[in-house]
Structure 1
């Protein structure tokens, strides 16, 4: 089964080998018919400590590395800060 991948923005890179990535999704509210934005934060494993706050990155799911880390950093598209 293929691993899921998501794109998001790094909101914190202060921890060692960990980056917190915010993933935003939009959907139409079923009753109000308005576009609604929701976001989730994921702890991603960053082996080389290359993530910088404000950077757009791609993460993919992996085997659990710690209590909260179930994702790993795949690629970065340069600094958007």
Structure 2
């Protein structure tokens, strides 16, 4: 997955500027990003502070790791099931 060229603190600062009344098109031009990126950030991180944003990233990483673990265990279970069915 591609990483963002903006840090968490930069994203929060950009969102704060927009809340302060800076027009979105000018903000996007100033920071070199698309308006779609801005609106995606606002939907995801709007109203958060730095600690909440860090916690969200931790939870997303943990969720990804757990999904991978589940997929691996599910695959093992399917292999064992096929092996047992073939023996009888």
TM-score (norm 1): 0.24
Higher helix residue share: 2
Higher strand residue share: 1
TM-score (norm 2): 0.23
Work out which structure has the larger RCO, using CA pairs closer than 8 Å and 6 or more positions apart in sequence.
1
